[in-house]
Amino acid sequence: MTEWGQRTLKRTVRRSRQLSVESIVKGLQTLCGLQISTTTVRRELHGMGFHSRLGASKPYITKYNSKRWMQWCKARRHCT
């Protein structure tokens, strides 16, 4: 992939991070006239630092919840 193609790919992904690889490939083919495979796009995105990881939702832990969680753990400490 050329440097121009890499810049175009990076710009496309940054505009909308919810795109699938297949839709990115179709967009590059229609907009730029590039014939590129999905494997190449995945490899290039991985090399640029884009990974398919989602942020994990973390529950808000209050003092009350942490106290109850500790009581639950202590009650089941000896369970196998």
Please state, rounded to an integer, the average pLDDT across all residues of the chain: 81
Report percent pLDDT > 90 for the chain.
14
**Each residue's pLDDT tens digit, 32-56:** 777 878 888 888 888 888 777 666 7
pTM for the complete prediction? 0.50
| Alpha-carbon gap, residue 18 to 40, rounded angstroms | 19
Burial of 45-65, coded b for 16+ CB within 10 Å and e otherwise, reads: beeeeeeeeeeeeeeeeeeee
Q: How far apart are CA 7 and CA 65, in angstroms?
A: 47
